[in-house]
Structure 1
Amino acid sequence: MARHREALTPVRSTRNGIALGLISLVPLVFATAVFLWPLGVLVARAFDDSDGATLPELWDRTHAWRLLAVTVGQAAGSALTALIVAAPIVWLLSTVRLPGSGLLRAVVTVPFVLPTVVVGVAFRALFDGPLAFLDIGQGWTAIIVAHTFLNVAVVVRVVSAAWQRIEPREVAAARTLGASAARAFLDVVIPRLLPAIASAFALVLLFCSTSFGVIQILGGGDASTLETEIYLQGIGYAKLPDAVALSMLQIVLVLAALGVARVVGSTRVPPTGAGAHLRPPHGAKRIAVAAVLAWIGLWLILPIVTLVIRSLRPGGHWGLAGYRALADTTYGPSAYSSLGYSVSSGLLAAAIAVVVGLLTATALTRTGGVVAKLAGGLSVLPLGVSAVTLGFGYVLALATVPYEIAASPLVVPCVQALIAIPVVVGVMVPALEQVPDRLRDAAAVLGAGPLRVFVTVDLRLTARSLAAAAGFAFVMAVGEFGATTFLARADTTTLPVLIGSLMGRPGADNFAAAMAASVVLVAVSAAVVAVVETVSSAPETRAPGRNAPKKKGSARADAA
Structure 2
Amino acid sequence: MNGSTSGRGSSPASRTVATSDRFRVGVPASAWFERHALALTALTTATVLAVMLYLPVGAVFVDAVRAEGAVTLTHFADVLTDPFYFGVLAEVIAEPFAIRSHLEALAAWLAAVSISISLESPVPGLDLPVPWVHVDAPPVRKGLFGFTAYQAALSTIASVALGLPAASILANYEFRGRRILRSLTILPFVLPGIMVAVGFYAMFGRAGTLNGVLGLVGLGPYPFVEWNPLAIVIVAHAFYNAPLVARVTVAAWESVDVRTVETARSLGASPRRAFRDVVVPQLLPAVFTGALLTFIFTFMTFPIVLALGGLQLATVEVWIYDRVRQLAYGEAATLAVLETLLSLALTYAYLRYESAQSGLARAASPPPRDPLFPDLRTALSPRRLAIVGYGLVALVVFVGPMASLVAGSFTDGGGLTLRHYAFLLERQLEGASYQTLPWVAIRNSLLFGVATLAVAVPMGVVVSVVTARAGRWGALVDTVAMLPLAVSGVVFGIGLLRGLVFGISLPGGWQFQVTGTVAIVAAHAVAAYPFVTRNVSPLLSSLDPAMVESARALGASRYRALVDIELPLVASGIVAGAAFAFAISIGEFSSTVILASGSDAYTMPVAVERYLGRRSGPAIAMGTLLLVVTAASFVVVDRVGGRFER
Please tell me the TM-score bracket, short chain as reference.
0.7 to 0.9
Alignment of 1:24-35 (within 5 A): 24-35=42-53
Match of 1:116 among 176, 193, 216: 193
The code of the aligned residue for 1:69 comes to G
Mapped to 1, the partners of 2:169 and 2:604 lie a distance apart of 35
* Higher mean C-alpha displacement, 431-440 vs 173-182: 173-182
Q: Deviations over 1:121-155 (max 9, x none)?
A: 11112111244566430421111111111112221
Match of 1:40 among 58, 61, 71: 58
Q: Within the alignment, does 1:256 sit opposite 2:345 as a pair?
A: yes
The percentage of counterpart residues that share the same residue type is 29
Which residue in 2 is equivalent to 1:550? none
Q: Within the alignment, does 1:57 sit opposite 2:78 as a pair?
A: yes
Contact map agreement 2:38 2:559 (CA 8 A) in 1: no
Mapped to 1, the partners of 2:83 and 2:498 lie a distance apart of 22
Which residue in 1 is equivalent to 2:484? 382
Q: Within the alignment, does 1:533 sit opposite 2:635 as a pair?
A: no
Mapped to 2, the partners of 1:411 and 1:437 lie a distance apart of 39
**How far did 1:24 drift?**
3.5
Which residue in 1 is equivalent to 2:417? 319
Mapped to 2, the partners of 1:103 and 1:275 lie a distance apart of 23
Mapped to 1, the partners of 2:423 and 2:477 lie a distance apart of 45
Contact map agreement 2:493 2:590 (CA 8 A) in 1: yes
Which residue in 2 is equivalent to 1:334? 437
Other structure's SS at 1:409 match: helix
Other structure's SS at 1:492 match: coil
Other structure's SS at 2:503 match: coil
Unaligned runs of 5+ in 1: 1-10, 537-553
Contact map agreement 1:157 1:557 (CA 8 A) in 2: no
Which residue in 1 is equivalent to 2:239? 149
**How far did 1:70 drift?**
0.9
Alignment of 1:14-25 (within 5 A): 20-25=38-43
Contact map agreement 2:199 2:402 (CA 8 A) in 1: yes
Question: More relative contact order in 1 or in 2 (CA 8 Å, sep 6+)?
Answer: 1
Match of 1:87 among 144, 164, 174: 164
The code of the aligned residue for 2:544 comes to P
* Higher mean C-alpha displacement, 403-412 vs 343-352: 403-412
Which residue in 2 is equivalent to 1:434? 542
Mapped to 2, the partners of 1:49 and 1:479 lie a distance apart of 35
**How far did 1:188 drift?**
1.2
* Higher mean C-alpha displacement, 376-385 vs 225-234: 376-385
* Higher mean C-alpha displacement, 98-107 vs 120-129: 98-107
Contact map agreement 1:59 1:242 (CA 8 A) in 2: no
Contact map agreement 1:92 1:292 (CA 8 A) in 2: no
The code of the aligned residue for 1:427 comes to N
Change (3 A) 1:159 1:26: farther
Mapped to 2, the partners of 1:21 and 1:521 lie a distance apart of 39
Change (3 A) 1:235 1:490: closer
Mapped to 1, the partners of 2:403 and 2:267 lie a distance apart of 48
Mapped to 1, the partners of 2:544 and 2:308 lie a distance apart of 49
**Structure 2-normalised TM-score?**
0.75
Other structure's SS at 2:362 match: coil
The code of the aligned residue for 1:501 comes to R
**How far did 1:205 drift?**
0.5
Alignment of 1:191-340 (within 5 A): 191-236=281-326, 238-265=327-354, 266-268=356-358, 270-272=360-362, 276-281=366-371, 282-283=374-375, 284=378, 290-327=388-425, 328-329=427-428, 330-340=433-443
**How far did 1:264 drift?**
3.5
**How far did 1:298 drift?**
2.3
Which residue in 2 is equivalent to 1:357? 460
Q: Within the alignment, does 1:107 sit opposite 2:128 as a pair?
A: no
* Higher mean C-alpha displacement, 353-362 vs 387-396: 387-396
Change (3 A) 1:109 1:516: same
Other structure's SS at 2:602 match: coil
Contact map agreement 2:321 2:490 (CA 8 A) in 1: yes
Contact map agreement 1:62 1:242 (CA 8 A) in 2: no
Contact map agreement 2:35 2:558 (CA 8 A) in 1: no
Change (3 A) 1:557 1:192: farther
Other structure's SS at 1:418 match: helix
Mapped to 2, the partners of 1:274 and 1:531 lie a distance apart of 29
Mapped to 2, the partners of 1:379 and 1:223 lie a distance apart of 32
Change (3 A) 1:403 1:523: farther
Contact map agreement 2:34 2:559 (CA 8 A) in 1: no
Name the larger-Rg structure.
2
Contact map agreement 1:64 1:246 (CA 8 A) in 2: no
Which residue in 2 is equivalent to 1:520? 625
Contact map agreement 1:115 1:496 (CA 8 A) in 2: yes
Other structure's SS at 1:325 match: helix
Mapped to 2, the partners of 1:369 and 1:177 lie a distance apart of 42
Q: Within the alignment, does 1:136 sit opposite 2:224 as a pair?
A: yes
Other structure's SS at 1:271 match: coil
**How far did 1:243 drift?**
1.2
Contact map agreement 1:416 1:477 (CA 8 A) in 2: yes
Q: Within the alignment, does 1:418 sit opposite 2:418 as a pair?
A: no
Q: Deviations over 1:339-383 (max 9, x none)?
A: 22212211221332211111101101112465x655533332222
Which residue in 1 is equivalent to 2:8? none
Mapped to 2, the partners of 1:232 and 1:408 lie a distance apart of 21
**How far did 1:444 drift?**
0.9
Q: Within the alignment, does 1:556 sit opposite 2:631 as a pair?
A: no
Mapped to 1, the partners of 2:34 and 2:164 lie a distance apart of 46
CA RMSD of aligned residues (A): 2.8
The code of the aligned residue for 1:470 comes to A
Mapped to 1, the partners of 2:257 and 2:606 lie a distance apart of 47
